[in-house]
Chains A and B, each alone.
Chain A
Amino acid sequence: MRRIIIRRLVQIIPLIFAVIVMNFVLIHLAPGSLFDVMTSEQQITDPKMLDQLRHTYGVDQPVSVQLAKYIWSVMRLDLGYSYRQNAPVFDVIMQQLPATLILMLAAVGIALLVGVTAGVLASIKVNTIWDNLISLGAVFFFAAPSFWLGIMMTVMFAVKLGWFPVGGMRTIGVDESAFGAVLDVMHHLVLPATALGLFYAATFARVMRASMLEVARLDFVRTARAKGLSGGRVVLAHVMRNAMLPIVTLLGLQLGTMLGGSVVIEAVFSWPGIGSLLFDSVMSRNFPMVLGVLVLGSLLVAVCNASVDLLYLRLDPRIKAR
């Protein structure tokens, strides 16, 4: 067990290295730089001053040297300095990370709960009106872009009905107790987490339905029924337990895309997370920040994937044997 964990962690290192190199190259291929933004925003217009700044930030050196320097600093756990926030990149990200984690966790929770429940229901009521309705809903939420879904939900539930706030993470100017603050955040969380989670719920529902139907045909389910177990018990203890395995695989794969999806959702709901930070940094060509977010993001996804693999090991005893 420990050997597997260590092996998985070691595998992350070359992955991060590749992420750094690729993104570094991509960023340097992209047009525009921080100085263009500064010039256009009329902050600095003096060419001499700009040259001096280029020298200070080391941008006048060859790209390969810059890359080597960046990798060296990442190895020392230093992600560089953000020109825009005037603070170390790492500190800024750490400030924003919890908001994104909360959003992702809530979205994963909603996706699993809604997706698995819908999938199980559809498989139990297979080829009935319920099954068709669930399939229709799944296709809809799978096809609808999450930013559009977010905007529509804002219009419906925030603007028209006024049940939830339009955006943000907290109500400004209200100083509440710790419990009140948690409730306030949860209230703000409902719409963005649902908008982000429903897409994944749709996938989970489809996969769960197919997986349930497949497992239900297997011999051991007949054995379970031959034991005299009730229908509910057969579904919960025998069919679902086995049908969950593909969902776990899918979850591991989708955690990465979910981080990407949260960028869009955070922008729609002005959620103060890494996504909006990344969006902002790209717009202002704040490249150390962009790189920092990508490196930490890929690290997060890699760690999540490794944990999912370990979870899989627990769920399916046959894997250990192989």
Chain B
Amino acid sequence: MADPVLADQMPILSLQDLSVSLFTRRGVLPAVDGLSLTVSAGETLAIVGESGCGKSLTALAIMRLLPWPPAKIVSGQVRFMGRDLASLSEREMQRVRGKDISMIFQDPMTSLNPVVTVGDQLVEAIRRHTDVSRAEAHNRAVELLRRVRIPDAERRLNDYPHQMSGGMSQRVMIAMAIACGPKLLIADEPTTALDVTIQAQIIELMKELQSSSDMGLIIITHDLGVVAEIADRVAVMYAGRKVEDAPVEALFERPLHRYTRGLLGATPSAQRRRGGRLVEIAGNVPALSDLPKGCAFQNRCPDVFDRCRAERPQLAPLLPHRSAACFAAEKELSRDAAVIGA
């Protein structure tokens, strides 16, 4: 894995000021608001946030699979290998999907077509982007199933999805995603629907596949355990905006944004003192139709002060290699600097 702090290469994907809006009867809601992200080859970026913060819509926007109506990219660029995906025609985009960028989804049991064998679904993905015979595609499919560690791969090709467990299905999904050697894999909550032991296996598998192919990986999750396990860098999203972006060790060591702190406090861990309570983040995410002036997190923030209510914090590089959009963090860091300087 590339060292994220030292990696200064051209990113393979960079979102610039991407905005996705939901066009609903109640008005136009900013589901993703001015989001900028970069992913380099071999790097794993985790996008973290609670339900409805826009992380899945971001993934679908990159793939140009947003469900219209209601969701639509309203501004910004999705630059992938020098091209702006947001401005490609649907036809050109079809050649990118599944070949250069692949995606796996949350629920593997419903993500495979129930009336087609997994072999045929794999072969379909292979033959869509490579000019090979059926027999050759079949051989590749067997090879792919072996790579994702499915035992008895040859026979499993003839199985229907309902004959497989959730973990097996997710392996098939991964096999399908890497079938054409993508530069970027987007995994949208890939382990949420799985048993804990299976989750670890799937994460392990993705790490292994990534390290052997140098592909970029975006993993969308609300599970900080998964983040710690696999990510190089973390982007924390809240109410459609990125509120913090940091290398994974630094983030866990010292979360800057108060929301990130809340998330870490609400995560159970084995090290924590037995009987110690998890700290919840009080209150709820404000509705997109009803975002307050100033910081979206103000109604739940323990360190909120006047400026948070009056002015919306912009993402600023507060420490080397990391940025956050939080006035409380800014204040805290400047106090630190003053102490060190004194």
Contact of A237 with B111 in the complex, beta carbons under 8 Å: no
Residue of A nearest to B180 (CB): A228
The reply to whether A317 and B111 form a contact with Cβ atoms under 8 Å apart is no
* Given A228-B128, A241-B116, A223-B97 contact (CB < 8 Å): no
Does B129 sit within 8 A of A, measured CB to CB?
Answer: yes
Question: Which residues on the B side are within 8 Å of A220 (C-beta)?
Answer: 110-114
In the complex, what's the smallest C-beta–C-beta distance from A311 to chain B, in angstroms?
13
Contact A227 B128 (CB under 8 A): yes
| Distance between B90 CB and nearest chain A CB, rounded to angstroms | 8
Q: How far is the CA of A231 from the CA of B89 in the complex (A)?
A: 13
Q: B116: which A residues are within 8 A, CB to CB? A: 237-238, 241
- Docked Cα-Cα span, A152 to B105, in Å, equals 54
Q: How far is the CA of A318 from the CA of B103 in the complex (A)?
A: 26
Residues of chain A from 213 to 251 with CB closer than 8 A to chain B in the complex: 218-220, 222-231, 237-238, 241-242, 245
A168 to chain B, nearest CB (A): 44
| CA A30 to CA B223, docked complex, whole Å | 75
- Tell me how many residues of B have a C-beta within 8 Å of chain A: 30
A321 within 8 A of B: yes
Inter-subunit contact B114/A321 (CB<8 Å)? no
A315 to B173, CA, bound (A): 23
Picked from B98, B115, B128, the residue with its CB within 8 Å of the CB of A317 is B115
User: Contacts A229-B94, A318-B162 hold; do A224 and B65 have CB atoms under 8 A apart?
Assistant: no
Q: Which residues of B contact A227 (CB under 8 A)?
A: 97-98, 124-125, 128, 176
Chain B 91-116 near chain A by CB (<8 Å), digits 1 or 0 = 10011111100110101001111111
Closest to B114 in A: A318
Which residue of chain A has the shortest Cβ distance to B126 in the bound complex?
A227
A223 touches which one: B91, B95, B96, B111 (CB < 8 A)?
A: B111
With contacts A228-B95, A317-B162 taken as known, whether A223 is within 8 angstroms of B105 at the C-beta atoms is: yes
Would you call A316 an interface residue if the criterion is a C-beta within 8 Å of the partner chain's C-beta atoms?
Answer: yes
Q: Is B160 touching A318 in the complex (CB atoms < 8 A)?
A: yes
Closest to A218 in B: B110
Q: B128: which of A223, A229, A242 is its contact (CB, 8 Å)? A: A229
In the complex, what distance in Å separates the CA atom of A241 from the CA atom of B117?
13
- Check: B63 CB closer than 8 A to any chain A CB: yes
A321 to chain B: which residues have CB within 8 Å? 162-163
A238 to B91, CA, bound (A): 19
A229 proximity list for chain B (CB < 8 A): 94, 98, 124, 128
Chain A neighbourhood of B173, CB < 8 A: 223
A219 to chain B, nearest CB (A): 4
Residues 266-299 of chain B: 1 if any A CB is under 8 Å from the residue's CB, otherwise 0?
0000000000000000000000000000000000
A231–B90 Cα distance when bound, in Å, is 9
State the CA gap A225–B116 with chains docked (Å): 15
Bound together, the chains give a CA A242 to CA B96 distance in angstroms of: 26
Shortest C-beta distance, B321 to chain A (Å), equals: 32
How many Å lie between the Cα of A321 and that of B115 in the bound state?
A: 13
A226 touches B63 (CB 8 A): yes
Residues on B with C-beta less than 8 A from A228 are 94-99, 125, 128-129
Residues of chain A lying within 8 A (CB to CB) of residue B112 = 220, 223
Residue of B107, B110, B115, B128 with most partner-chain A CB within 10 A: B115
Nearest residue (CB) in A for B159 is A317
A237 contacts which chain B residues (CB < 8 A)?
A: 116, 124
Q: Nearest A residue to B106 by beta-carbon distance?
A: A219
User: A312: shortest Cβ distance to chain B, in Å?
Assistant: 11
Tell me whether A219 and B176 are in contact (CB under 8 A): no
B163 cross-chain contacts in A, Cβ below 8 A? 321
- Closest CB-CB distance, A50 to chain B, in whole Å? 64
Q: Are B65 and A242 in contact (CB under 8 A)?
A: no
Q: Which B residues lie within 8 Å of A245 (CB)?
A: 115
Which chain A residue lies CB-closest to B113? A220
Contact B97 A242 (CB under 8 A): no
Minimum CB–CB distance from A322 to chain B (whole Å) comes to 10
CA distance A226 to B104 in the complex (A): 9
From 285 to 322 in chain A, residues with beta carbon under 8 angstroms from any chain B beta carbon are 315-318, 321
Is the Cβ of B107 less than 8 Å from the Cβ of A219? yes
CB distance from B25 to the nearest CB of A (A): 15
A222 and B63 CA atoms in complex are apart in Å by: 11
Indicate whether A238 sits within 8 Å of B113 (C-beta atoms), given known contacts A219-B105, A227-B125, A228-B94.
yes
B193 → chain A closest CB, angstroms:
11
The chain A residue with its CB closest to the CB of B102 is A226
Enumerate A4-55 residues with CB–CB distance to B below 8 Å: none
Assess A225 versus B97: contact at CB under 8 Å? Given A219-B107, A237-B124, A317-B160. yes
Are A226 and B97 in contact (CB-based, < 8 A)? yes
A316: B residues at CB distance < 8 A = 114-115
Q: Could you pull out 5 A-B pairs where Cβ atoms are within 8 angstroms?
A: A226-B102, A227-B97, A228-B96, A228-B97, A238-B113
Interface residues of A (CB under 8 A from B): 218-220, 222-231, 237-238, 241-242, 245, 315-318, 321
Extra 13 A-B pairs, beta carbons < 8 Å, given A222-B105, A228-B129, A229-B128: A218-B110, A219-B111, A223-B113, A223-B173, A225-B65, A228-B94, A229-B94, A241-B115, A316-B115, A317-B114, A318-B114, A318-B115, A321-B162
The 5 closest A-B pairs by CB, nearest first: A228-B98, A228-B97, A227-B98, A219-B110, A317-B160
